[in-house]
Chains A and B, each alone.
Chain A
Amino acid sequence: MTTGGNLPVETSRGKPHADVAVEPDGPPGSGDVSLANSARTIVGTVQEDAGFLARPDGALFVVLHRPVDRPPFGSLTVCSSLFGEQHTDYRREVRLARMLASAGFAVARFHYRGFGNSAPGSASLDAFSRDALDVTLAARRLTSVSRVAFLGVGVGSLVASGALLAHPEAPLLLWKPVVDGAHFCRDFFRARLVAATRVGGARPGTTDELLARLANEGHVDVMGFTLAASLYDSLIVSRLTETLPRHPRRILVQPFRGSRAAGVERLVADWKAGGCLVDVQPAKLAEDPYFIPDGAAAAASVLAAEEQLVADARDWLLSSWRNGE
């Protein structure tokens, strides 16, 4: 429903749900869940509802993509990357959601508590996993699907693997997974030094100084991104091999070009030894968001590689569910 001119188009009837039940593994379809203060649009054959999932922990900004012409046969929850990576990954995730929704899936995307358009909140990997579970539950109820899957992007891989504890049968997709949270933090701090050298600015403080400030002040600035001590503390003890439960499952790993790819081979071997069915499909994309070259040729190449990445993820998920997952 277009209301004319540049007015909002087709907004849904959001409701206040400050007391909405948050049950990480509750049955779908049994509660009155909706996105509050929401709006709806149609992009091609995809319906998109953007709004806020109200919870006692604070509202989360959520976008739910689904096919416009049929009920979805499964739902994917996207656990996004963080900081600078989120900026380069954001549109990829939107593109994936639209492609999957046009292929018959529901896709739920959201901003973690304290990030983006969501309400402030204390950040940690556990808290983010609870966010992912709340969003998954809402998506299941809103779309009446029973099958769910998770996508972890970058550090979101650690979030998705935490959420998977509540859904042991769910397929898991990982883009440029962070295998070790401590390594992620180390590389994040190093990028700060390299970025300062590149722009010719004053040399920033050492990592030791940064960590001292983190301990004293409870947060620290890394290239214009606020890293909270609670998130840092949860990251440095988190490893993908340990967070993922030892349970036979289907996993697709799509490593990008960069230092993380080196750890994927061992990760895959560990998982296979644990009985997981793991597929690996490398993507021709740069893992590091800070030094991606400019230019039309580079942009076209990135776009083509993203198309392939997204199409591979879709085909794998389709085959996973077709095979009875």
Chain B
Amino acid sequence: MSSQVQVASPDTFAETAMYLQSGTETVFAVRTSPVTSRADIGVVLAHSGANNFSAHRNGVWTSITRRLAREGIPSLRFDFAGTGESSGKFVLELAGQPVTDAAAAMDALRALGCRRLLVVGSCFGAVPSVVAGAARGDIAGMILLSPPLVPPGGGRMATLRERIGEVVNLPTLRIVATNREYRRWYVARHASLAKTKATIKLSRLATHTPPSSTPEPAAGTSPGRGLLLESELARLITNGSHVEVVFGTRDGNLARVEGDPDASRAIRLLQGGRPAGLAWTVFDGPVHGLEDAAIQEQVIQLVVRRACDLI
């Protein structure tokens, strides 16, 4: 391990480059360490994927990490495999390498003494962060900046096997068995889904339209696939993590959630979750892509504030 050099502020912190093993790939990260840590919390920052690098647009990640350091909070920003300084080829998928990368970054910060993590994911970067975070017990908080909770164009329809796999898997069943709040959400959620599907079937019967010739309903009226990551978000919430979704009024990702009744219902259920429901923050402007300096500043302040709240 290399020794410490103060990169920006000699009184408060040091920054150190790191390479992390992530499966067969090597993932690049920068750790920002305050001279004195105030608590056991650390912040992991996941950028938006392709065409991005560890500092994020306009150095927003760098600004966050340095302000966190001044608050005595260590952090780590990293490049997904195939982006920035990392090895490999970037893949836009909900499992596999991006999830391994996010987990590697979380493990690295844990190994440096942070027992609890606040994870911040931007756009696509939120997806593997949530998947990796839901599988562990050290996530104190998760902030998702304009996540693609309803993928553009509806995405590929899942096969029956994939859909069953989303709800019937070992981690889910384990938490259903052991956590009353999650069980309550799980039952309510699937009852809601069943009701939606039954309503559609009944309406088809009423109009005597054979299902095979029924065109797919347009976006906005379709039950669709619902909310991406719904199960994982519910698991994090019932585990007591602070989960906050941040959109901008001009984000297409927000419009897609609001235009999908099934996703909107899922959001409402998550907002009513316990011990504390999904927090929903909307800034006036574009959060997606962080294409506005004023919004960037609001995001920076929000992340630093939430991290301080978790101390």
Q: Is this pair of chains taken from one and the same complex?
A: yes
Interface residues of A (CB under 8 A from B): 2, 5-18, 35-41, 43, 48, 50-52, 54, 58-59, 61, 63, 87-88, 90-91, 94, 111, 115-120, 195, 199, 201, 221, 223-226
Binding site for A on B (CB under 8 A): 1-8, 10, 14-22, 26, 28, 30, 51-55, 57-59, 62, 82-85, 87, 103-104, 107-108, 111, 250, 286, 289-296
Would A221 and B293 count as touching, CB distance under 8 A? yes
The reply to whether B2 and A37 form a contact with Cβ atoms under 8 Å apart is yes
Asked whether, in the complex, the Cβ of B59 is within 8 Å of the Cβ of A116, the reply is: yes
Which of B15, B51, B58 contacts A224 (CB under 8 A)? B58
- A16–B2 Cα distance when bound, in Å, is 9
Q: Which residue of B lies closest to A220 (CB)?
A: B293
What separation, in Å, do the CA atoms of A38 and B58 have in the docked complex? 23
**6 more CB-based (< 8 A) A-B contacts, given A35-B17, A37-B15, A43-B87:** A14-B5, A15-B3, A18-B6, A50-B19, A52-B5, A91-B83
A117-B62 contact, Cβ under 8 Å, with A11-B1, A37-B15, A50-B85: yes
Least Cβ–Cβ distance between B3 and chain A, in angstroms: 6
Q: Can you list the 7 inter-chain pairs with the closest CB atoms, starting with the nearest?
A: A14-B2, A221-B293, A6-B107, A36-B5, A224-B291, A37-B16, A50-B17
CB atoms of B21 and A37 under 8 A apart: no
A15→B14 CA distance, assembly (Å): 12
Give A111 to B59 CA distance when docked, in angstroms.
Answer: 11
Residues of A with C-beta under 8 A to B85: 48, 50, 63, 94
Check if B21 sits within 8 Å of A6, measured CB to CB: yes
Contact pick for B3, options A37, A41, A90, A199, CB 8 Å = A37
Residues of A within 8 A of B2 (CB): 11-15, 36-39, 51
Q: Is the CB of A224 within 8 A of B293?
A: yes
A6: chain B residues at CB < 8 Å are 20-22, 103-104, 107-108, 111
Contact present for B3 and A16 (CB under 8 Å): yes
* A-chain residues with CB within 8 Å of residue B82 when the two chains form the complex: 91
Contacts of A94 in B (CB 8 A): 84-85
Cα A90 to Cα B47 with chains together (Å): 14
* Interchain nearest-CB distance for A122 vs B (Å): 14
Bound form: Cα–Cα A119–B87 in Å: 25
Please give me the residue from chain B that is nearest to A299 by CB atom: B50
18 inter-chain pairs at a CB distance below 8 angstroms, sorted by A residue, are A5-B107, A7-B108, A9-B21, A11-B1, A37-B7, A37-B17, A43-B87, A50-B28, A51-B17, A54-B5, A59-B7, A88-B51, A116-B59, A116-B62, A117-B30, A120-B8, A224-B57, A224-B58
Chain B residues positioned under 8 Å from A13 (CB to CB): 2-3
Q: In this complex, what residue of B is CB-closest to A121?
A: B8
Collect the chain B residues with CB atoms within 8 Å of residue A116's CB.
53-55, 59, 62
The answer to whether B84 and A90 have CB atoms under 8 Å apart is yes
Whether A201 and B250, one on each chain, are in contact in the complex, defined by CB atoms closer than 8 angstroms, is yes
Query: Do A225 and B57 touch (CB < 8 A)?
Result: yes
Decide if A119 touches B7 in the complex (CB within 8 Å): yes
Nearest CB in chain A: distance from B30 CB, A: 6
Could you tell me the distance in whole angstroms from the C-beta of A178 to the nearest C-beta in chain B?
20
Asked whether, in the complex, the Cβ of A52 is within 8 Å of the Cβ of B286, the reply is no
The answer to whether A224 touches B17, judged by C-beta atoms less than 8 angstroms apart, is no
Q: Which residues of A contact B10 (CB under 8 A)?
A: 18
Q: Inside 8 A of B54's CB, which chain A residues have their CB?
A: 116-117
- Measured between beta carbons, the chain B residues less than 8 angstroms from A91 are 51, 82-84
Q: Which residues of A contact B286 (CB under 8 A)?
A: 199, 201
Contacts of B296 in A (CB 8 A): 224
Q: Is the CB of B5 within 8 A of A90?
A: no
Closest-by-CB residue of B relative to A5 is: B107
Cα of A150 to Cα of B52 in the assembled complex, Å: 24
* B3–A36 CB distance below 8 A: yes
Q: A39-B17, A87-B57, A117-B55 known; A8 and B294 CB under 8 Å?
A: no
A8: B residues at CB distance < 8 A? 1, 18-20, 108
Residues of A close to B3: CB separation below 8 A: 13-16, 36-37
**How distant is the Cα of A57 from the Cα of B211 in the complex, in angstroms?**
70
Which chain A positions have C-beta within 8 A of B28? 50
In the complex with contacts A59-B7, A91-B51, A10-B19 CB distance below 8 A: yes
Nearest A-chain residue to B292, judged by Cβ = A224
Residues of B within 8 A of A12 (CB): 2
